[in-house]
Every structure is written in C-alpha cells, then in structure tokens.
Amino acid sequence: MGLAPSFSFLMAGRVVAGIGVGYSIMIGPVYSAEISPAMTRGFLSSLPEVFINVGILLGYISNYALSSLPEHINWRLMLGLAALPAFAVALGVTVMPESPRWLVMKGRFVEAKRVLIKTSDSEEEADMRLAEMAKAAATLEQEPSSRSWHGQGVWKELLLRPSRPIRRILIAAIGVNFFMQASGNDAVIYYSPEVFKDAGIHGRKQQVGVTVIMGIAKTCFVFISALFLDHFGRRPLLLLGSTGMAISLAGLGLGSEYLRQCYEKPAWAIALCIVAVCADVSFFSIGLGPITWVYSSEIFPMRLRAQGSSLAISVNRVVSGIVSMTFLSISEKITFGGMFFALSGIMAVGTVFFYFFLPETKGKSLEEIEILFEDKPPDGNNKGLAS
C-alpha cells in the first residue's frame, strides 16, 4: 500500500489487509483461550486487545511524527511501516505450537500433552488438563452433530435448532460483540480529530497531539484490565467499564452541546470534552475492549467454538462498519452532542444486558464453562444469567 501507484491498487491492498485482520481477530483470542490455563486465561486471551491498543498508539505517534513531512510522502510511510510488525507476526506464527484442544479432537494426544507441559506449571497439571480435554472430546464423539469435527451439522445446531444452553451462549456472545461496537468506540477513534475540531481545537498538530494522549490513556487502561481480569473476574470489570462509558459519553454530549451553542469557546468546556473522550476510551479498555474477546472465545463448547466465535465476531465487524460509516452523517443531522447522548443510552442498555445475561467465567476451565449455561447450574456462582 505504501508503494501503491493508483487508488485501485491501494484499495486492493486494503482488502488483503482486511482479510488478514479478520483471520487474526477471530483466531487470536480463540487460540489464546484454548492454550491457556484456567487461572491465567483472562490475561492471556486479552493480549490481542492489548496489542491492538499498542498498535493504535504507535499509529497515533507515527502519524504525529510524520505529519510535518510532505503530503505525497507521509501517508506512504504511514502505511508502509506497518509491513515491519506484519513480518514479525509471520515469523512468530511459524514457531507457535498447535492448540492442544484441537490436537485432542484429532486424536493426537502425545502432541497435545507436549504442548500442555510447556503451558502448565507442572506435569501433573498438564495431565489433569489433558484428561478434561479427552473427556470433553469423548462426549463430543458420541454426539450426532459432531461427525468428524469438520463442521457438518454445526451451523444447523447454532442457528436452526439450538438447545436452550446454546441459545443462551449465542445471546451472550453476539450481545457482547454487538454492544462493543454499538458503543461507538471505533468511530470515536477514527474521527477523533473531527470530534476535537468540533470541540474548538482547530490546529492539525494540536488535534493529533490530543489524539496521542487519548491513545496513551486507552493503552494504559487496557494493560491494567488485562492484569486484573483473572483476579476480579469478567463481570465486575465489564459492568464498571460499560457504566463508566455511559457516564463519559453523557458528559461528552453535554460538553459538545454547550460548545455548539456558545460563540466563545470556554476552556472548561473544551477540557470537559477532552477528559470525557479519554475517559470513554479508558473505560472501554477496562471492560468491553479486552473482555469481549475473552468472553467470545471461552463460552462456546468445543464442538461449536470455531464457528460460534466466528459468528459473534462477524456481528462485531458488521456493526463496527455500520457505526463507522454512519457516525459523521448522523452527527451532521443530530449534532455530535446528540450522537454522544444516543451512544450513552446504548451503553446504559448494554450494562443492563451484561448484568442479566453474562455469567462469571473466572477460574473455570473451558470444559466447565458450558455447564454455566445449563438449565440447572451446579452452584450459585452464576448470578446474572437470565433464564
């Protein structure tokens, strides 16, 4: 893309890059969940979101650094430099071990144990994890919907004839992915210079500089969330994040509307908008950002994990595209303030949804999580699961 001789060539590069990103955001969290021990799965499965934020921050910083270069050079460098981390990822994939659960499904137990020994504290823990996987695979083999594990019957079970537990899992996974993007976080990131311009910051370098500050806040908080995800659990951080986003977006809407109606732009109102944007993306990084990927990759049973996760993430990307493509046009109709008030209302609804439909999964193996969605849970640790 950095060397693109024409617009069509550039767009072709974007399509190829989009396919790569699509594979990554679906496979990365699922792979992390399948290879991780239960006690650290939250942290390890949130690493894709952590490094997405690191990449966004590096993008902001590089854009700021390149903004003073001539326009026919700066965008080419901005796109071309991304080849370096892509090459590093390609090299890293060549030394990654295969998912032990996939190996067990294929009957390759010796290879699965070899991987589990490398990712467990002791050989005894590896044996215990292998036994759980083998038990789940044996149950799976007896089910008619799982012929050869090549996906036959899986889509029918997911979409046409889901059992009550599977329907609950689908509602939880699709719901959390829907609200992740309906929150408008991607649009706020894409169009933050426009948002800051509307708030009264007109200098191009000032807009990019404030965007860098926003990126730093977002990255710091996603690190904090990843570190404490396995300690506090998914639900508390998700509810904290979505509540904080609702309040931050309401504050941003208030500040934007006040500035729109004022000829003079008071410093306190500009500061309120900057703080509200930073708070919004920070609360997103505490809750929805990392937890959506963790939750989507861990709640589906083994036989449905790949297809179920891909379905939920497809909803994620479709909603992201719709929100991003309509954000500016809707904002022109109802103002930025009105748009942020609407997003605040969406997050308030999302908070209620998370409270009633998403049970806690902290510290449970992937094989145990399926039981949380059964009609009769084995314990009282499933507060928040609606029937």
Q: Once rounded to an integer, what is the mean pLDDT over residues 158-162?
A: 82
Please report which confidence band the pLDDT of residue 377 belongs to, taking 50, 70 and 90 as the band edges.
very low
pLDDT at 202: 66
pLDDT-above-90 percentage for the chain? 27
The closest of 44, 208, 57 to 120, measured between CA atoms, is 44
Please report which confidence band the pLDDT of residue 319 belongs to, taking 50, 70 and 90 as the band edges.
very high
Instruction: Report the distance separating Cα 129 and Cα 40, nearest Å.
Output: 14
Instruction: Report the distance separating Cα 384 and Cα 364, nearest Å.
Output: 17
Let me know: does 130 contact 113? Beta carbons within 8 Å. yes
Please report which confidence band the pLDDT of residue 150 belongs to, taking 50, 70 and 90 as the band edges.
low
CA torsion angle for 33, 37, 38, 42 (degrees, to 10)? -50
Instruction: Answer yes or no: is pLDDT of 289 > 80.
Output: yes
Which residues, 6 or more positions from 372, have their beta carbon under 8 angstroms from its beta carbon? 299, 359, 361, 364, 382, 385
Please report which confidence band the pLDDT of residue 56 belongs to, taking 50, 70 and 90 as the band edges.
confident
248/42: higher pLDDT: 248
pLDDT at 378: 46
Please report which confidence band the pLDDT of residue 375 belongs to, taking 50, 70 and 90 as the band edges.
low
pTM of the model: 0.79
- HSE-CB of 383 using CA atoms within 13 angstroms: 5
Please report which confidence band the pLDDT of residue 140 belongs to, taking 50, 70 and 90 as the band edges.
low
Q: What domains does the chain contain, in order, with CATH numbers?
A: 7-96+162-373 (1.20.1250.20), 100-139+153-158 (no CATH)
Q: What region does 385 belong to: left with phi over 0, alpha with psi -120 to 50, or beta? A: beta
